[in-house]
Amino acid sequence: MKICPANALCYQLSADLGGTGAKLFAEDSLHKLTWKILKTNGEKIMLEVDKTQANKF
């Protein structure tokens, strides 16, 4: 996924993915990756992933 600091790039989450038209944005920093989901009803969801812990099991 490409990342734009101005959130100009997003992915449209289609109904077959369960997204019903929601938009997915990403922000990248040194230690975390932030996923922002904007649903069609205006609801916003934010998920943060700590890159240093992401691949540890």
57 inside domain? no
3 inside domain? no
| Interatomic CA distance for residues 14 and 4, integer angstroms | 21
**Residue 35 burial class via C-beta count within 10 angstroms: exposed 0-12, middle 13-18, buried 19 and up:** middle
Q: What is the pLDDT of residue 17?
A: 65
Q: How many domains does the chain have?
A: 1
How do residues 10-39 score in pLDDT, each as one tens digit?
A: 777 777 766 678 888 888 888 998 988 888
1 inside domain? no
pTM exceeds 0.85 for this model: no
42 inside domain? yes
Domain that holds residue 32: 11-50
22 inside domain? yes
pLDDT band at 57 (very low <50, low <70, confident <90, very high): low
Strand order in the sheet with 44-50: 11-13, 22-28, 32-38, 44-50
29 inside domain? yes
Q: Decide if pLDDT at 7 tops 80.
A: no
33 inside domain? yes
